[in-house]
Structure 1
Amino acid sequence: MRTTINIDNDILNKASLLTGIKEKTQLVRLGLEALILRENSKRLAALGGSERDISSPARRR
């Protein structure tokens, strides 16, 4: 899918320097994937072991 977006050149340049990635499309894709992972982690952490009736899994020996 092709989309037109406005991104600050300073942000793109900094991301490119930090990652070594020169292609803008790849930088944006990886940035969005990182954002999704971070937000999913926040949601999982918010659950915070709230299942009171769960039993510990059996240990393997």
Structure 2
Amino acid sequence: MRTTLNIEDKLIDKASKLTGVKEKTSLVRLGLEALISRESSRRLAKLGGTEKRLRTIRRRRSGDRLHGSR
């Protein structure tokens, strides 16, 4: 779908420099994908649910298995 957008040159330039993406269409697509991802994460976090029957997950300490110690 073709759409005409009015976006400040400074904003496009900054996004291009930060991402290395030069094509404006790609910049807009990546920006929209990032926005969708961020907002989806926020909505999920807002649900704030818990699973009371979930078993505690055993966590490794920072040195375990990373450097061969056990």
What TM-score, normalized to structure 2?
0.72
What TM-score, normalized to structure 1?
0.82
Q: Which residue of 2 aligns with 1:35?
A: 35
The alpha-carbon deviation at position 55 of structure 1 amounts to 2.2
Q: Which has the higher helix share?
A: 1
Structure 2: segments with no counterpart, 5+ residues: 58-70
Residues 13-35 of structure 1: CA distance to partner in whole angstroms, max 9, x if unpaired? 00000000000000000000000
The alpha-carbon deviation at position 10 of structure 1 amounts to 0.2
The percentage of counterpart residues that share the same residue type is 62
Q: Residue type matched to 1:56 in 2?
A: L
Q: Which structure ranks higher in relative contact order (CA pairs < 8 Å, sequence separation ≥ 6)?
A: 1
Cα RMSD, aligned residues only = 1.6
Structure-2 separation of matches of 1:42 and 1:29: 20
Q: Residue type matched to 1:31 in 2?
A: G
Larger Rg: 2
Q: Which runs of 4+ in 1 moved over 6 A?
A: none
